[in-house]
């Protein structure tokens, strides 16, 4: 989470230097629109898998390079998240169940995700939790693909903030004071939204944790292994 906010702030403060450093690459991509877009989309699919980083840089690069940056980012983000989902669903579900048995925090989060359904998935995708770290959780705790895909598509606008930051760094926008101000306002609003949604998710986890631990202990009395599936506690609003 700290790395994400640090990256966003650094992109806002040093975006001119970043754009200058990437200029040879952006010039090439502007001369080869289709190939450049495919490279960006392919790179976004790759960095969708943890622990790889670089999503924000690619988004800014797309904003600097293309007039259709939002479309490019939307396609790359959704395809990358879908690939991430299926890899973890079929390769790591057993490991996820084992982690639920041994890690209280992960187990409580899995319980909150199962009980919250679509809305908790959507809120988590808008929170400060990096999407490429949240997606493995959704995949391994059994979130239906349709629910995940809908949330992934609806949360794509979150990625448009760095696209706009990149757009304001274009040479033709150098003297556009309004664009610079709007860029900082948009970044500030994005930070407020991601922090607020993260607080909400943490609140849900704290509310459910005590009931989850109690149900986990009761379940272990008659069932030695396996993740705990319990109904939403009466004091938790989803």
Residue pLDDT, tens place only, 103-154: 888 888 888 898 888 999 999 998 878 888 889 999 999 899 999 999 999 9
Are the C-beta atoms of 201 and 238 separated by less than 8 Å? no
pLDDT-derived band at 232, boundaries 50, 70, 90: very low
Do residues 227 and 110 make contact, with C-beta atoms less than 8 angstroms apart? yes
pLDDT digits (tens, 9 = 90+) for 153-197: 999 988 887 777 777 766 666 666 776 777 778 778 888 888 898
Distance separating alpha carbons of residues 183 and 58, to the nearest angstrom: 17
């Amino acid at each position: 989470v700290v790395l994400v906010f640090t990256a966003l702030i650094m992109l806002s403060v040093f975006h001119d230097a970043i754009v200058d450093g990437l200029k040879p690459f952006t010039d090439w991509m502007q001369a080869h629109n289709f190939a450049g877009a495919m490279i960006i989309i392919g790179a976004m699919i790759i960095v969708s898998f943890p622990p790889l980083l670089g999503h924000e840089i690619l988004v800014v690069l797309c904003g600097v390079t293309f007039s259709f940056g939002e479309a490019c980012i939307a396609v790359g983000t959704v395809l990358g998240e879908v690939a991430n989902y299926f890899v973890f669903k079929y390769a790591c579900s057993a490991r996820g169940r084992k982690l639920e048995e041994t890690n209280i925090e992960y187990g409580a989060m899995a319980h909150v995700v199962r009980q919250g359904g679509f809305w908790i998935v959507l809120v988590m995708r808008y929170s400060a939790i990096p999407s490429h770290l949240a997606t493995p959780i959704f995949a391994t705790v059994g979130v239906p693909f349709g629910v995940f895909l809908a949330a992934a598509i609806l949360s794509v606008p979150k990625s448009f903030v760095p696209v706009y930051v990149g757009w304001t760094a274009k040479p033709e926008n150098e003297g556009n004071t309004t664009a610079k101000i709007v860029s900082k306002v948009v970044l500030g609003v994005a930070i407020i939204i991601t922090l607020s949604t993260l607080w909400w998710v943490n609140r849900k986890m704290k509310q459910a944790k005590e009931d989850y631990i109690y149900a986990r202990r009761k379940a272990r009395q008659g069932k030695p292994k396996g993740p705990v599936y319990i109904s939403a506690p009466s004091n938790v609003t989803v």
